[in-house]
Amino acid sequence: MSGKTVLVTGGAGYIGSHTVVELIENGYEVVVVDNLSNSSYDSLSRIEILTKHHVPFYHVDLCDRAGLEPVFQQHKIDSVIHFAGLKAVGESTQIPLEYYHNNILGTLVLLELMKKYDVEKFVFSSSATVYGDATRFPDMIPIPEECPLGPTNPYGNTKLTIEFILNDLFKSQTDLWKFAILRYFNPIGAHPSGLIGEDPLGIPNNLLPYMAQVASGRREKLNVFGNDYDSRDGTPIRDYIHVVDLAKGHIAALKYLDSFETTKKTGICREWNLGSGKGSTVMEVYRAFCKACGEDIPYEVTGRRAGDVLNLTAKPDRAKKELHWQTELNVDIACTDLQKWNTENPFGYQLRGVEAKFATPEHEYDARFITIGAGTKFSATIANMGATLVDVKVDGQSVVIGYDDEAGYRDPEACYLGATVGRYANRIAHGKFHLNNQDYQLTINNGVNANHSSVSTFHTKRFLGPIVKNPKQGLYTAEYILMDKETDGELPGDFEVHVTYTLDVEAKTLDMNYEGYVQGKATPVNMTNHSYFNLNKVNNPSIEGTQIAVVSDDYMDVDSDTIPTGKVAKREIATFASGKTTTLGKTEPEYDYNFFVDAAKPLKETDTRASELALVTRAYHPESKIGLEVYSTEPSYQIYTGDWLTAGFAPREGFAVEPGRYVNAINQEQYKDCVTLNPGQTYGARIQYKFSSKD
Amino acid sequence: MSGKTVLVTGGAGYIGSHTVVELIENGYEVVVVDNLSNSSYDSLSRIEILTKHHVPFYHVDLCDRAGLEPVFQQHKIDSVIHFAGLKAVGESTQIPLEYYHNNILGTLVLLELMKKYDVEKFVFSSSATVYGDATRFPDMIPIPEECPLGPTNPYGNTKLTIEFILNDLFKSQTDLWKFAILRYFNPIGAHPSGLIGEDPLGIPNNLLPYMAQVASGRREKLNVFGNDYDSRDGTPIRDYIHVVDLAKGHIAALKYLDSFETTKKTGICREWNLGSGKGSTVMEVYRAFCKACGEDIPYEVTGRRAGDVLNLTAKPDRAKKELHWQTELNVDIACTDLQKWNTENPFGYQLRGVEAKFATPEHEYDARFITIGAGTKFSATIANMGATLVDVKVDGQSVVIGYDDEAGYRDPEACYLGATVGRYANRIAHGKFHLNNQDYQLTINNGVNANHSSVSTFHTKRFLGPIVKNPKQGLYTAEYILMDKETDGELPGDFEVHVTYTLDVEAKTLDMNYEGYVQGKATPVNMTNHSYFNLNKVNNPSIEGTQIAVVSDDYMDVDSDTIPTGKVAKREIATFASGKTTTLGKTEPEYDYNFFVDAAKPLKETDTRASELALVTRAYHPESKIGLEVYSTEPSYQIYTGDWLTAGFAPREGFAVEPGRYVNAINQEQYKDCVTLNPGQTYGARIQYKFSSKD
């Protein structure tokens, strides 16, 4: 693992995002800048989950020198891979000035800052378009790098100009600069994970994404631009290359430049074709795609497109010999991967009913609040920080309490509002536990005890992701993960946890799925969601008048230090069996107790998700007529009437129902197993909030 | 005369300035933008005199869109000639990024604004450098426009890229754009007037200006970059073209584009070589230059220069056929013109002892204060507005009163401080006069009379120019002109006046030379300078204690309306003959009288400059020990002790000595001839202020 930092411009885009994945998988740190003019930040938030790695992102246009310079100041950039640029051949013939301005100025500003900050390695995303119609020369198909250049459209001219710039800059300091110019042939396909792929805003300009949109019904039919070319079936021949192969070509180029830095002590500026060496006609690709999607999609042959030429097949020998790189995937695989991407993300990253906003004044991209179900009758807003449930709205009415921004949640007095509590929720007596022959002492933060993991709490940590999906109408998922490293002297082992929210608009259910693993050492785990509900918030900031009932009035008895005695006792609260409800008053009753679902059946397993969801608490407010049912697979649930709420909220502005494992279980022999996660084991739990309303 | 407005970028530079002259001479209005990075505004102020035409100038970098846009808003631009760009081949190999950034972005911003403001005609300053080494192809010398392109240096690449941009932009709207791409060969020489020429800041990169600097002693010897080329004498062959021929090529191109607009109703984008078709070696040009300057200048053969190629001779047939343009001047003439420029301006526009500052907050270039003799023991500051003498410093001490900026002079109450008064100084009785059987009535502005031309006064008009020169050490000249159009119902005829200040540091003399002509109708003319002196200003704001004496105490008698009676009378004032002086007191004596130099010899001629300068007034202040002598060729002089000074000044803060023609002469038969300027006649007058000091 090199650990060197690579700045990727246009890293949110199609080729950029796939290259970011390969870079991370090859041990590089990545910083992405992108103006998002033709891409979506969601590609990067998905990559965070895919790679379990944070990707610092800057929403900057390269032409904005003042905006770009801080990236060089805040990161020790080792090298740059430069994808950012306008890239549609057809469009470039319509608005050439924009193409020249954006592509050339952006590159110049980037190079100027590289010079200023002593960054010397640069991989440039050029294009086979720089060759123009290579068939005008004898013996130039497949096209070698020596083929005379002559783009036939403004897009190609911008790429050629940038090649000129790089060559001239190299010549001005040949001992310094290390430039790899990669001339791409036709990238197609998508990541095999189905998580990232090509997602052109507006009408796609390339063959495959257009076919994909036809297959998914977004477009009526494929336009084949000319079948009167001098090819085997009359359609133009291109060298299609799987985007993952292409992405890997960048790693090969980067390593090649590294070798000049470390061993040859000299600069370089050189071009490499990145192609398969095998040409396919449009119709051949069409048939491969139809095979992959299992149906013949409609197409129509229309006139030739301005700027297109007959044949652009690469001679990829130089890259094979010098970069030790060649394509490994073919058009069939590319079509299969594309179809997976397309099927699982029929609208790419552009999901209706999903909104995002920044949670810091600095507009950090990993400080976001995402709303799923936005604009519908049931929505949830989730923060990256703490994978926190910031808000839930039933028929437009907020039914939980939360803050407007991260600053609220960072208040040291804040009461874990909506937080994903972990890795160990609830109290550990005296902050002590013993695991695998080792004693641990957590920082005391709650009377004589450690609560909610104390200083290791998740609620102020930013989770990676999310992956937001909308697999069918009215159904949304948002997956976050946290790679929680062992903290010195506190919780042992490196813990990885996935928190997936699933929102069903029709059912008005919000599910939370927790799945965790530990590496290195065993760790105590107990996860829950700490939302404070006020079903009548629209009418009254207090929870007074809320009617509740629970599955069982057995609770874990505690001493005066709120340390469990190990005994099961009864607490006065209405149970489902009683057919009654307990009405929460202005100040009473006060609850902060850990109730059993079934005290007679202590849980032993770490993953409860095989169990049925069980209703543990029901709540209703007669004024708002909004009801709540809390289900879970967990053996206990804390009921807390919010009597110590502070930091912007008054006592009893919300009540919490926190399904989870038994309080202080790690220190109680009969309960210890279910909160002890060993390497190789899976931690799992499910919680569901189900709302009802008068409507 | 088309009257169309042409925006010339880089219009202050070498080729730009010569083209501005040709444009004006062809009836175009010109607006110039230039960042002055390698040029001087003085080229344009000189062009104003050369062409008798105002050239609006904007000090703007083309990359600064916000700075450039107002130019398009404030002028109805018909077409653009685009010279602005970095242009040194050798430098471009050292700092290629700067070349690409400046040349390409500047062009893009310009084209973007042209698009926005519906300007469609564009003449681009390209270069033969786009061909690269044309000798690499068979039969491409002389180089036709069809020669394959392939620049060998970054400078050439920027030109080629801009050609790409223009071709692509044209193709995006072929009915709209009209682009002429002019590929220059090697421009040399200078304007035959000797007023403008090549003035590279720093070390010149081109052959001729370098030789010129060697000839003038600024450089030690000429470096001949390689004599091992495959040419008749081993030095590279270039196609040298007189810059005036080149400038005319732009007019031809512009007219060609006009013809597409007016008759063909279609767009065009086409390239033309501008060259002579005749190649000369470096040594041939060297010999021609030596012949022109009459001496063999030293040279040394050094190594080849990066980016140079053997032969770049134009095939200029296309320009001849289509633009009806060809070169008319040869290398010998170019060398002669260059040598004239060089001899008369050995340091180009860069004069030591000359400073300029803006006189308005808007930094308008024609609102300047120029100081000549700056940093010496005698200096004068002159404003374009009114060709006004703003300040005179003797040994660093100011001896006249004036304002800090134009706003002061524009105050309606301001008292013509330092102004060049015209076209008719002093009073015209009742504002009436009769000339060539026509009666004129000026606006009354002074009691019952019209004074100092009333509403037509020069003192708030901006003069064109100046041409500032420093012909020898300690001698400075600054020439201004005003093209004063006939004002409805006021002064008749179009009057052109040249005001030339000459400052001699050693002699401490400041001369004013007035020369005027009228077109259309005869006009009354009487010019003077209206400085208010206070020789003791450093010690006392009042003139009290100043000792004066005059050449004669005869004065023009006036009635109670200050209208001359036509009689000569005596006024109590010390004369030279008396050997005494009159001391000006705090409030007395008050003078505002027009004295005769010699009442017995009334002047008949309109041009007095053939006469010797005569001393008319002597003044001295014993505290400052500064003395003043006022000389002139004029028949009278007004002595005014400033008793009505206002607008920021108190009475008697300065006294004026205004040599000129007799007050109300236009209405007095015996004096009328000398103030009546007929078409074909020359008005002329000289005034000299000579200072002395204790040093």
Q: Do the Cβ atoms of A96 and B169 come within 8 Å?
A: yes
B157: nearest CB among A92, A154, A168: A168
* Tens of pLDDT, residues B473-525: 999 999 999 999 997 779 999 999 999 999 999 999 999 999 999 999 999 99
More confident residue, B342 or B404: B404
List the single residue in B95, B115, B164 with the smallest CB-CB distance to A157. Answer: B164
Q: Do A95 and B172 touch (CB under 8 A)?
A: yes
Q: Which residues of chain A carry a pLDDT beneath 50?
A: 1
From chain A, pick out residues whose CB is under 8 angstroms from the CB of B164: 154, 157, 161
Q: Do A168 and B101 touch (CB under 8 A)?
A: no
Instruction: Check residues B167 and A135 and name the one with the higher pLDDT.
Output: B167
Q: Which residues contact B412 (CB under 8 A, 6 or more apart)?
A: none
Among 2.60.40.10, 3.40.50.720, 3.90.280.10, 3.30.365.10, name the CATH number for the domain at A5-199+236-281+310-328.
3.40.50.720
Which residue out of A53, A242, A459, A530 is catalytically annotated?
A530
Using DSSP's 3-state secondary structure scheme, residue B355 falls into: strand
**pLDDT number for residue A204:** 80
Whole-angstrom Cα distance, residue A544 to residue A584? 5
Contact A95 B171 (CB under 8 A): no
Residues in chain B within 8 Å Cβ distance of A97 = 108, 111-112, 115, 165, 169
Q: Which of B435, B423, B421, B420 is nearest to B495 (CA)?
A: B423
d(CA A67, CA A472): 39
pLDDT of residue B248: 98
What's the gap in Å between the CA of B149 and the closest CA on chain A?
Answer: 10
| Residue positions counted in chain A | 695
Contact A355, A370 (CB under 8 A): yes
Chain B residues within an 8 Å CB radius of A105: 101, 104-105, 108
- Select the CATH number that applies to the domain covering A354-692 from these four: 2.70.98.10, 1.10.760.10, 1.10.10.10, 2.60.40.1480: 2.70.98.10
Rounded Cα gap, residues B655 and B278, in angstroms: 65
Nearest to B530 by CA among B623, B635, B418: B418
Out of A96, A100, A168, the one facing B96 most closely (by C-beta) is A168
Phi, psi of A327 (to 5 degrees): -70, 145
Mean pLDDT rounded to a whole number for chain B: 95
The answer to whether the CB atoms of B97 and A104 lie below 8 A apart is no
CB contact under 8 A, B97 and A105: no
CB atoms within 10 A of CB A461: 16
**pLDDT, position A133:** 86
Q: Which residues of A touch B (CB under 8 A)?
A: 92-97, 100-101, 104-105, 108, 111-112, 115, 153-154, 157, 161, 164-165, 168-169, 171-172
Of B154, B168, B169, the CB nearest to A168: B154
Report chain A residues whose CB lies below 8 A from the CB of B108: 97, 100-101, 104-105
Judge whether residue B149 has pLDDT over 60: yes
Stretch B574-587: mean pLDDT, rounded?
Answer: 97
Residue B694 has pLDDT above 90, yes or no: no
Judged by CB atoms closer than 8 Å, whether chains meet at A96 and B161 is answered as no
Common-topology check for domains B5-199+236-281+310-328 and B354-692: no
Query: Measured between beta carbons, which residues in chain B are less than 8 angstroms from residue A154?
Result: 164, 168, 172
pLDDT per residue as tens digits for the range B264-300: 789 999 999 999 999 999 999 999 999 999 999 999 9
For helices B106-116 and B65-74, give the axis angle rounded to 10 degrees: 40
* CA–CA dist B691, B394 (Å, integer): 7
Determine the distance in angstroms separating the CA of B501 from the nearest CA of chain A, rounded to an integer: 48
Percent of chain B's residues with pLDDT above 90 = 89
Determine which of A64, A97, A115, A116 to mutate to test the interface with B (most B C-beta atoms within 10 Å). A97
**pLDDT for the residue numbered B261:** 80
Chain B CB contacts of A169 under 8 Å are 96-97
- Tell me the angle at which helices A207-215 and A282-293 cross, rounded to the nearest 10 degrees: 30
Would strands B547-550 and B614-621 be described as parallel, antiparallel, or unpaired? antiparallel
Q: Which of A97, A112, A157 sits opposite B97 (nearest CB)?
A: A112
In order, the DSSP letters of A101-142 are: IIIIIHHHHHHHHHHHTT--EEEEEEEGGGG--GGGSTT-SS
| pLDDT given for residue B1 in this prediction | 47
Note the pLDDT of residue A217. 85
CA distance B25 to chain A (A): 34
Residue B202 has pLDDT above 80, yes or no: no
Burial B453-471 (b: 16+ CB within 10 A, else e): bbebbbbbbbbbbbbbbbe
> Of residues B53, B54, B82, B530, which has the active-site annotation?
B530
Select from B168, B169, B176, B179 the residue whose CB has the most chain A CBs within 10 Å, as the one to mutate to test that interface.
B168
Q: pLDDT by residue (tens digit) across B101-146?
A: 999 999 999 999 999 999 999 999 999 999 988 888 889 999 999 9
**Has residue B653 got a pLDDT over 80?**
yes
Mean pLDDT of B363-376: 96
* CB contacts < 8 A (A, B): 80
Does B168 contact A161 at a Cβ distance shorter than 8 Å?
no
Residues in a beta bridge with A501: A478, A512
CB contact under 8 A, A101 and B96: no
Residues in chain B whose beta carbon is closer than 8 A to a beta carbon of chain A?
92-97, 100-101, 104-105, 108, 111-112, 115, 153-154, 157, 160-161, 164-165, 168-169, 171-172
pLDDT of A1 reads 47
Residue B606 pLDDT > 80: yes
The reply to whether residue B115 touches residue A97, judged by beta carbons under 8 angstroms, is: yes
The whole-number pLDDT of residue A254 equals 97
Taking CB atoms and an 8 Å limit, are B157 and A154 in contact across chains? Answer: no
Could A108 and B105 be called an inter-chain contact, meaning their C-beta atoms sit closer than 8 Å?
Answer: yes
Which of B92, B153, B161 is the closest to A161 by Cβ? Answer: B161
Q: Tell me if A101 and B112 make a contact (CB, 8 A cut-off).
A: yes
Q: CA A261 → CA A119, A156, A176, distances in Å? A: 12, 30, 9
Residues in chain B closer than 8 A to A161 (CB atoms): 100, 104, 157, 161, 164
Active site residue B250: no
Give the integer Cα–Cα distance in Å for B643 and B621: 19
* Alpha-carbon span A98 to A104, nearest angstrom: 10
Per CB-CB distance under 8 Å, the chain B contacts of A115 are 97
Say yes or no for a CB contact (<8 Å) between A93 and B169: no
| Domain spans of chain A, in order of start | 5-199+236-281+310-328, 354-692
Structure token pair of residue A486: 């062992």
A-chain residues within 8 Å CB-CB of B111? 97
Contact: B164, A164; criterion CB under 8 Å: no
Higher pLDDT, residue A264 or B605: B605
Taking the CA of residue A153 and the nearest CA in chain B, the distance in Å comes to: 7
For residue B307, pLDDT beyond 70: no
